[in-house]
Amino acid sequence: MKAVVLKGHGGPDDLEVEERPEPPVGPGEVRVRVKASGINFADLMASKGLYPDAPKTPSVLGYEFAGEVDSLGEGVDGFAEGDRVFGPTMFGGYAELVTVPVGDLYSIPEGFSFEQAAALPVNYCTALAALVEMGGLREGQRVLIHAAAGGVGIAATQIAREIGAEIFGTASASKHAVIRAQGVEHPIDYRNLDFADEVRRLTGGEGVDLIIDATGPTNFRKDYRLLRPGGKMVMYGASEVAEAKRAFDRRAISALVRMPLVATPWWKSFAVMNENKGTFGLNLLDWWKGEGLSRLGALMEAGLERGTFDPVVDVTFPFEQAGDAHRFIADRKNVGKVLLTP
């Protein structure tokens, strides 16, 4: 089978298409012929040696896919060869074939393309974990969504809109029309404005109830100060680190050194009691390894049944242009999801 293989840690230049053995199918497993694979910031970090959980190179990245059932392992019920399916995968998504446990597989909703389905697992499970499970967002509350034009940002906006929250979102000015259409009431041009000053202005100095942010320590410090009493901040990534050219880039080291100090370092324990704020760290892969994604997957399926989730796909690249796809995301060009197709 054809697969995109990460040969080293040189970033996009180290992604090459190779022939690899077809994955076997064991009991309780399903093999899927992939039609589209999702790209996430974790892939970009892994390509530079900045993602500790990534497999050793040479390896195949990719955390989500959509396609057709190719073959079924012993004891599998509920699916048949040719069924249109999607799901998450613990690496290996950048390939023509992927094998996953049947419990991680979902049927593609009627009317959804393979590309839309491949944009669902990571983005919507991350947003549901941050806003619903951790953030406990309620109607009438204020939420600040960073990178609101990205895949997770659009998913989070759709979820917050359904809940009935007041939505603030950061994005470059060229993307404001798109995020407004999704439900962001207060678009903030983070390139030309200090987002913290703008949030304070828009809220009369009160701040917000929930912030979800995957940018890194520079913004995390500002986020924490914007929280109202009872407010929560969910940190789920560090694109500031991913923008580094390699693992030991000065920018990456600076960001990593500052990470432990951004919100609630140990010496602030008593002060935190008086501030009445909370911080959460979210790593979807660790969540997945710990208890699986069934809880979040059930929330995702419920949203799909209600018809409130509408994944936005920006552009698809063929496997042979995987490096260009990574650069496209790193350069902040995307509005919605970027995908690979065999």
Task: State pLDDT tens for residues 46-100.
Answer: 998 888 888 999 999 999 999 999 999 999 999 999 999 999 999 999 999 999 9
Cβ pair 324, 12 in contact under 8 A: yes
Give how far Cα 146 sits from Cα of 116, 154, 222, Å: 22, 10, 12
Distance in Å from the first CA to the final CA of the chain? 10
Q: Is residue 33 part of a domain?
A: yes
Domain residues for the domain of 191 are 123-285
CA atoms within 13 A on the CB side of 144: 35
Q: Is residue 295 part of a domain?
A: no
Q: Is residue 303 part of a domain?
A: no
- pTM of the predicted model, to two decimals? 0.91
Q: Is residue 170 part of a domain?
A: yes
Average pLDDT score over residue span 31-38 = 98
Distance CA 89, CA 104 (A): 8
Give how far Cα 193 sits from Cα of 36, 172, 221, Å: 37, 10, 16
Please report the pLDDT score of residue 257 as a whole number.
47
At residue 19, what are phi and psi to the nearest 5 degrees?
-90, 130
Q: How would residue 36 be classed by pLDDT, with cut points 50, 70 and 90? A: very high
Amino acid letter, residue 283: N
Q: Is residue 332 part of a domain?
A: yes
Is 68 in the same domain as 210?
no
Tokens standing for residue 35? 């039609």
Is 43 in the same domain as 183?
no
* Residue 229 backbone zone (phi > 0: left; psi -120 to 50: alpha; other: beta): beta
- Tens digits of residue pLDDT in 192-201: 999 999 999 9
Q: Is residue 306 part of a domain?
A: no
Is 79 in the same domain as 227?
no
Please report the pLDDT score of residue 9 as a whole number.
92
Is 146 in the same domain as 278?
yes
Average pLDDT score over residue span 237-262 = 56
Pick the closest to residue 36 from 322, 318, 332 (CA basis): 318
Is 262 in the same domain as 140?
yes
- Residue 107 pairs in a beta bridge with 85
How many Cβ atoms are within 10 Å of 189's Cβ, its own excluded? 15
> Of 285, 303, 325, which residue is a domain's last?
285
Tokens standing for residue 11? 């970033």
Give the helix, strand, coil percentages of the chain, each rounded to 5.
Answer: 40, 25, 35
Residue 248 DSSP SS3: coil
Instruction: Evaluate if residue 41 carries a pLDDT over 80.
Output: yes
Is 31 in the same domain as 170?
no
Is 112 in the same domain as 130?
no
Is 150 in the same domain as 103?
no
Is 156 in the same domain as 38?
no
Average pLDDT, the chain: 92
The CATH number of whichever domain residue 128 belongs to comes to 3.40.50.720
Average pLDDT score over residue span 315-329 = 97
Q: Is residue 175 part of a domain?
A: yes
Total domains, the chain: 2
Tokens standing for residue 161? 């809109």
Angle between helices 284-291 and 294-306 (to 10 degrees): 110
**Percent of the chain clearing pLDDT 70 (strictly above):** 90
Q: Is residue 297 part of a domain?
A: no
Residue 73 DSSP SS3: coil
Pairing state between β 106-107 and 84-88: antiparallel
Is 192 in the same domain as 173?
yes
Is 211 in the same domain as 68?
no
Is 29 in the same domain as 49?
yes
- Tens digits of residue pLDDT in 95-120: 999 999 999 999 999 999 999 999 99
DSSP state of 134: I
Pick the closest to residue 226 from 208, 202, 201 (CA basis): 208
Helices (H), the chain: 41-47, 114-118, 121-128, 151-163, 176-182, 195-202, 217-226, 239-242, 250-258, 269-275, 284-291, 294-306, 322-330
Which residues have CB under 8 Å from 189's CB, separation 6+? 170, 171, 172, 173, 176
The DSSP code sequence of 156-212 is HHHHHHHHT-EEEEE--GGGHHHHHHHT-SEEE-TTTS-HHHHHHHHTTT--EEEEE
The CATH number of whichever domain residue 319 belongs to comes to 3.90.180.10
